[in-house]
Amino acid sequence: MSRSPVQMLVDEASQTFKPGGPFAYHYARGKLGYDTIFHEMLRRGLLPQRGQYLDLGCGQGSLFAWLLAAGRLYDRGQWPEGWAPPPRPTTLRGVELMQKDVDRAEQAFGAQHPVVRVEQGDMNAVDFGQPDAILILDALHYFSHEQQREVLARIRRALPPGGVFLTRVGDASAGLRYRICNGVDRLVTYSRGHRLPRLYCRTLKDWVGELERLDFAVETEDMSGRKPFANVMLVCRVPH
């Protein structure tokens, strides 16, 4: 049976992690194959066509492999029907707390990649520079509410008019679905070599209220798919 363009995209992006060994490869395959946010951001063309991207808490850089693979597939005419043309970022900078993930990113992209740079650092401390798009996928809830507020305000200041902040958060008002989501998150984090983390949760209303107070135009989309989770994508745009 022939592969669909989406399967080709997952295959192409995951190949990037082959040099890092089976864990890196299968982690990427699982993430990119089943996590709807990666599909949705491309399908709907949510990110700026060009410019500099910053991924905070980027892990091994699965997002970067996904975006680069998207460009290659589009050029080969193997693009999913109905999806927006993929973005062509000029730089992809990642900041990641865990050195092990940074090492896997380096094995995947090499130390001298023309577009990708993944550095070890804490998003609470690093300078964000002047990117056109900032992403935080499932990492904001690892630090305190006060630190979250500070990071969000710094993101807003770093982005230009028309800039995009794309993130995913859990909705603490979602009852059992949220507790399941949190339990899975704690287990996955533990299995990746962290301590069992304390998670700093907020309701969706609280997240959106704070982002709107920062003068972002916020769009929300449920990202739980068919899983009993309470994950919500927030697409936050800086007005022109």
Q: Both tokens of residue 131?
A: 């990117």
Percent of the chain that is helix, strand, coil (3-state, to 5): 45, 15, 40
- C-alpha 129/C-alpha 50 separation (Å) is 16
Nearer to ligand SAM, 14 or 62 (CB): 62
The answer to whether the beta carbons of residues 93 and 113 sit under 8 Å apart is no
Residue least distant from ligand SAM (Cβ): 57
Alpha helices in the chain (DSSP H): 5-15, 22-34, 36-43, 62-75, 99-109, 145-158, 176-191, 204-213
Amino acid at 87: P
Q: How far is the CB of 60 from ligand SAM (least distance, A)?
A: 7
Q: How far is the CB of 76 from ligand SAM (least distance, A)?
A: 25
Nearer to ligand SAM, 11 or 78 (CB): 11
Nearer to ligand SAM, 24 or 58 (CB): 58
Q: How far is the CB of 96 from ligand SAM (least distance, A)?
A: 5
Nearer to ligand SAM, 96 or 132 (CB): 96
Q: How far is the CB of 21 from ligand SAM (least distance, A)?
A: 17
- Strands of the sheet containing 231-237, edge to edge, are 116-120, 91-96, 52-56, 133-137, 164-170, 231-237, 217-222
Nearer to ligand SAM, 91 or 120 (CB): 120
Q: Both tokens of residue 183?
A: 């339990």
Site residues, ligand SAM (CB under 6 A): 31, 56-59, 62, 95-98, 101, 122-124, 137-139, 142-143
Q: How far is the CB of 4 from ligand SAM (least distance, A)?
A: 23
